[in-house]
Structure 1
Amino acid sequence: MRNVLRLLYFVLFAGITGTALAAPAPPSIPGQLVFKLRPGQQPAALEAALRTLEVGSPRQKFPHAQAPSAERPGSVDLRGIYQLTMPAALTLDRARAVLLATDAVEYVEPLYIRQPQYQPNDPLADSTLTSLTASQYYLKQIKAYRAWDVTRGDSSIVIGITDGGVRLTHQDLRQQVKHNYADPVNGRDDDGDGYVDNFTGWDLANNDNNAGYDINIVHGSLVAGVAAARADNGLGIAGLGNKCRFLPLNIYPNTPTGSFAGFEAVVYAADHGCQVINMSWGGPGGYSRFEQDAMTYAAVNRNAVLVAAAGNTNADLLFYPASYDHVLSVSGVSSTDQKSPSATFSHRVDMVAPGLSILTTYGYHGPTSSGAADADYVAVGGTSFAAPLVAAAAALLRWQFPQFTAAQIGAQLRQTADNIDGLPANAVWAGRLGTGRLNVLRALTQTRQEARVTTSTFAPARVAYAPGDTLRLAVAVQNLLQPVAGLTVTLTSLSPYVTVRQGSFAAGNLPTLGQTNNAAAPFRLVVATGGIPLNATATLRYRLTASGGFQYDQYVDLALNPDYVVLGANDLTISLTSRGNLAYDNLAGTVGAGLSYRTNDNILSEGGLLLATSPTRVSDRLRSSGGRSRQSFFSLRQATRQQPGPRADQEARIAFQDTIPVAGSRIRSVGVAVRQRAYAWATPARRDFVVLEYSLKNLTADTLKPLYAGIFADWDLPTPDGAGRNAANWDSTRALGYCYALNVPATGSFPARYAGVRLLRGGTPTVYSINSGAPAGSPIRLADGFSVAEKFLTLSSGTRRANRSAGLPNGADVVQVVGTQVARLAPGDSVTVAFAVLAAPTLAQLQASADAAMLSYTTLLPTQGAGKSTADFKVYPNPTAGPLRLEVPAAFGLTEIQLIDAMGRVVRHQFVSGRQADANLFGLAPGWYTIRAIGTNGVLRRALQLQ
Structure 2
Amino acid sequence: MRQIFTFLILLCGGLLPAWGQVAPATAPGQLIIKLKQGLAPGSSLGTVQPALRALAATGLTQKFPFTQVPSPEQPGSVDLRLIYHCTVPTPLNLAKARALLLATGAVEYVEPVYVRAPFYQPNDPRADSTQSSATYLKLINAYRGWDATQGDTSIVIGITDTGFRLNHEDLVRQIKYNYADPINGIDDDKDGYIDNFRGWDMAHNNNDPSYESVDVHGSMSAGLAAAQANNGKGFLGVGFGCKWLPLQIFPGSVPGAFAGYEAIVYAADHGCQIINMSWGGVGGYSRFEQDVCTYAAVNRDAVLVAAAGNTPANVLVYPASYDHVLAVAATDGGGVIAAFSTYNTRVDLAATGVEIPSTGGVTDTDYRAGTGTSFSAPQVAGAAALVRARFPQLRAEQVRAQLRRTANAAIYNLPANVPYIGLLGTGTLNVGKAVAALNQREARVVQSTYLPAKPTGYTPGDTISLAVTVRNLLLPISGLTVTLTSQSPYVTVRQGTFAVGNLATLTQATNEAAPFRLAVAASGVPVNTSALLRYHFVGSDGYQADQYVTVLVNPDFAQLDAGDLSLSLTSRGNLGYDDLTAAVGLGARYRDGEPLLSEGGLLLATSPTRVADRLRSRGSASRQSFFTLAQAVRLAPGPRADQEVRGTFRDSLPDPQLPRSVGVRVRQHGQSWATPAARRNLILLDYSLRNLTADTLKALYAGIFTDWDLPGNPGLNVARWDSVNRLSYCFDPVASQVYTGVQVLGPRPAGVYAINNGAPAGTPIYLADGFSPAEKYLALSGGFGRTNREAGANQGADVSTVVSTLVPRLAPGDSATVAFAVLAAPSLAELQAAAQAAAALYTQQVLATVPAAPAVLGQVYPNPTTGELHIRLPTQFGPATAQVLDALGRVVVQATLPATGGEITLAALPAGLYLLRVAGPAGSLVQRIVRE
Shorter-chain TM-score bucket reads over 0.9
* Residue identity opposite 1:931 in structure 2: L
1:168–1:174 Cα contact (<8 Å) kept? yes
Displacement, 1:871?
12
Change (3 A) 1:917 1:209: farther
Displacement, 1:649?
1.1
Change (3 A) 1:829 1:879: closer
Residue 844 of structure 1: aligned partner: 829
1:552 and 1:769 map into 2 onto residues whose CA distance is 60
- For residues 601-750 of structure 1, the aligned pairs below 5 Å read 601-665=594-658, 667-683=659-675, 684-719=677-712, 722-745=713-736, 750=737
- The 10-residue stretch of structure 1 (679-688 or 754-763) with the greater mean CA deviation from structure 2: 754-763
1:567 paired with 2:560, answer: yes
Residue 369 of structure 1: aligned partner: none
Change (3 A) 1:781 1:934: farther
Displacement, 1:429?
0.8
1:221 paired with 2:219, answer: yes
Displacement, 1:894?
10
1:521 paired with 2:514, answer: yes
- 1:487 aligns to what SS in structure 2? strand
* Residue identity opposite 2:104 in structure 1: T
Residue 859 of structure 1: aligned partner: 844
* Residue identity opposite 1:552 in structure 2: A
1:522 and 1:583 map into 2 onto residues whose CA distance is 32
- For residues 225-236 of structure 1, the aligned pairs below 5 Å read 225-236=223-234
1:490 paired with 2:474, answer: no
- 1:227 aligns to what SS in structure 2? helix
1:388 to 370, 378, 381: 378
Q: Deviations over 1:6-31 (max 9, x none)?
A: xxxxxx9xxxxxx9853333222222
- 1:186 aligns to what SS in structure 2? coil
* Residue identity opposite 1:928 in structure 2: G
- 2:58 aligns to what SS in structure 1? coil
Residue 813 of structure 1: aligned partner: 798
- The 10-residue stretch of structure 1 (558-567 or 510-519) with the greater mean CA deviation from structure 2: 558-567
Displacement, 1:562?
2.0
2:667 and 2:466 map into 1 onto residues whose CA distance is 37
2:336 to 330, 335, 338: 338
- The 10-residue stretch of structure 1 (933-942 or 59-68) with the greater mean CA deviation from structure 2: 933-942
Change (3 A) 1:663 1:743: same
1:915 and 1:360 map into 2 onto residues whose CA distance is 95
1:482 and 1:505 map into 2 onto residues whose CA distance is 20
Residue 314 of structure 1: aligned partner: 312
- The 10-residue stretch of structure 1 (574-583 or 268-277) with the greater mean CA deviation from structure 2: 574-583
1:329 and 1:294 map into 2 onto residues whose CA distance is 16
- 2:656 aligns to what SS in structure 1? coil
2:390 and 2:881 map into 1 onto residues whose CA distance is 88
- The 10-residue stretch of structure 1 (641-650 or 261-270) with the greater mean CA deviation from structure 2: 641-650
- For residues 33-112 of structure 1, the aligned pairs below 5 Å read 33-41=31-39, 42=43, 43-56=45-58, 58-88=60-90, 90-112=92-114
Give aligned-pair identity as a percent: 57
2:701 and 2:368 map into 1 onto residues whose CA distance is 63
Change (3 A) 1:527 1:517: same
1:434 paired with 2:425, answer: yes
1:425 and 1:143 map into 2 onto residues whose CA distance is 22
* Residue identity opposite 2:407 in structure 1: A
- 2:48 aligns to what SS in structure 1? helix
Which blocks of at least 5 consecutive residues in structure 1 are unaligned? 1-11, 13-18, 366-373
Residue 240 of structure 2: aligned partner: 242
- For residues 128-527 of structure 1, the aligned pairs below 5 Å read 131=131, 134-253=132-251, 258-365=256-363, 374-419=364-409, 420-446=411-437, 447-462=439-454, 463-527=456-520
1:478 and 1:162 map into 2 onto residues whose CA distance is 30
Q: Deviations over 1:321-363 (max 9, x none)?
A: 0001100111000111000000000011111011111001111
1:795 to 780, 790, 795: 780
Displacement, 1:230?
0.5
Q: Deviations over 1:660-703 (max 9, x none)?
A: 111122x4201111111111122122111111111111111111
1:932 and 1:118 map into 2 onto residues whose CA distance is 72
1:456–1:474 Cα contact (<8 Å) kept? yes
1:158–1:246 Cα contact (<8 Å) kept? yes
Displacement, 1:880?
4.0
* Residue identity opposite 2:429 in structure 1: L
Change (3 A) 1:889 1:458: farther
- The 10-residue stretch of structure 1 (598-607 or 83-92) with the greater mean CA deviation from structure 2: 83-92
1:933 to 913, 917, 920: 917
Displacement, 1:122?
3.1
- For residues 915-930 of structure 1, the aligned pairs below 5 Å read 916=901, 918-924=903-909, 926-930=910-914
Change (3 A) 1:35 1:893: farther
Change (3 A) 1:550 1:932: farther
TM-score (norm 2): 0.94
1:540–1:555 Cα contact (<8 Å) kept? yes
Q: Deviations over 1:55-107 (max 9, x none)?
A: 33511110100000001000000001111122456444433222211111111
Change (3 A) 1:569 1:876: farther
1:718–1:724 Cα contact (<8 Å) kept? no
1:520 and 1:939 map into 2 onto residues whose CA distance is 64
Alignment RMSD (CA, Å): 2.4
Change (3 A) 1:337 1:254: closer
Count, aligned residues: 907
Q: Deviations over 1:213-270 (max 9, x none)?
A: 1234321101001101111000000111100000000111258762110000000000
* Residue identity opposite 2:391 in structure 1: F
- 1:79 aligns to what SS in structure 2? helix
- The 10-residue stretch of structure 1 (54-63 or 185-194) with the greater mean CA deviation from structure 2: 54-63
- The 10-residue stretch of structure 1 (608-617 or 891-900) with the greater mean CA deviation from structure 2: 891-900
1:869 and 1:533 map into 2 onto residues whose CA distance is 44
- The 10-residue stretch of structure 1 (54-63 or 496-505) with the greater mean CA deviation from structure 2: 54-63
- 1:119 aligns to what SS in structure 2? coil
Change (3 A) 1:762 1:883: closer
Residue 9 of structure 2: aligned partner: none
* Residue identity opposite 1:626 in structure 2: G
2:914–2:930 Cα contact (<8 Å) kept? yes
Which blocks of at least 5 consecutive residues in structure 2 are unaligned? 1-11
1:445 and 1:578 map into 2 onto residues whose CA distance is 56
1:546 and 1:825 map into 2 onto residues whose CA distance is 70
Change (3 A) 1:650 1:145: same
Displacement, 1:907?
3.8
Q: Deviations over 1:829-861 (max 9, x none)?
A: 111111111111112211111111111111134
Change (3 A) 1:613 1:507: same
* Residue identity opposite 1:455 in structure 2: Q
Displacement, 1:499?
1.0
Change (3 A) 1:872 1:469: farther
1:454 and 1:891 map into 2 onto residues whose CA distance is 78
Residue 370 of structure 1: aligned partner: none
* Residue identity opposite 2:478 in structure 1: A
Residue 529 of structure 2: aligned partner: 536
2:741 and 2:612 map into 1 onto residues whose CA distance is 22
1:894 and 1:317 map into 2 onto residues whose CA distance is 66
1:855–1:900 Cα contact (<8 Å) kept? no
2:764 to 779, 790, 796: 779
* Residue identity opposite 2:928 in structure 1: R
1:207 and 1:934 map into 2 onto residues whose CA distance is 74
1:914 and 1:650 map into 2 onto residues whose CA distance is 45
1:942 to 906, 910, 928: 928
2:580 to 584, 587, 590: 587
2:354–2:372 Cα contact (<8 Å) kept? yes
Change (3 A) 1:221 1:915: farther
